[in-house]
Chain A
Amino acid sequence: NAGVMQNPRHLVRRRGQEARLRCSPMKGHSHVYWYRQLPEEGLKFMVYLQKENIIDESGMPKERFSAEFPKEGPSILRIQQVVRGDSAAYFCASSPPGTGQFFGPGTRLTVL
């Protein structure tokens, strides 16, 4: 039973480019969460999605960041016009309703 899958594992972008991070939840999990972790810091909630719906995006920066979880395919976190401050580890987690969340291996984004 495959766990949460994220790709790419490492992503390097130059300032101003776009970054697309993908997350495939565990089989049977309908809830997807995205978190950002800066070096040596804790996990910051970004967005919570269910299929075709954004449930809570209170942690998303107002500009440049967007997320989706289409009916078919993985969840996508999209960062437009990246800046150096976007460099971080981005984790996706999935869960069935009302239980603990299971994290993917993360995508480490480096902005040059």
Chain B
Amino acid sequence: QQPVQSPQAVILREGEDAVINCSSSKALYSVHWYRQKHGEAPVFLMILLKGGEQKGHEKISASFNEKKQQSSLYLTASQLSYSGTYFCGTVSLESNTGKLIFGQGTTLQVKP
């Protein structure tokens, strides 16, 4: 079953912060985050494994709440280059093949 992302769309000014949420009805092994710009391939941002960790690089970080089967992506001091569609992909504990199931995406637009 597809994870649910919220919000569906966000509009920000440069320098503002955003949080994108990803929620699953299944027990998860891992959560992956990707950003896709229009007409381009998805770009891997980070992976969070079962264990409730938080990871990040530069001004983009993420957390994984194992008890709630939720992950959040945090974008701080947003830049124009952050614009795009963000997808979370989940691997469930019941999966023995590690296939990713993607959410429907969150469109982020950063304006000057």
Q: Point out residues on A near B: beta carbons under 8 Å.
A: 31, 33, 35, 41-45, 48, 55-56, 58-59, 91, 98-106
Contacts and interface: CB of A to CB of B under 8 A. Distances in A.
20 contacts: A31-B98, A33-B99, A42-B87, A42-B104, A43-B42, A45-B100, A48-B97, A48-B99, A56-B97, A56-B99, A91-B41, A100-B32, A100-B44, A100-B46, A100-B47, A103-B43, A104-B41, A105-B40, A105-B41, A106-B41
A-B CB proximity, top 5 nearest = A56-B97, A103-B41, A100-B44, A43-B102, A100-B47
B84 interface: no
Interface residues of B, number: 21
Contacts of B87: 42-43
Given A58-B99, A101-B100, A42 B105 contact: yes
Contact of B101 (A45, A100, A105): A45
Interface in B40-71: 40-44, 46-47
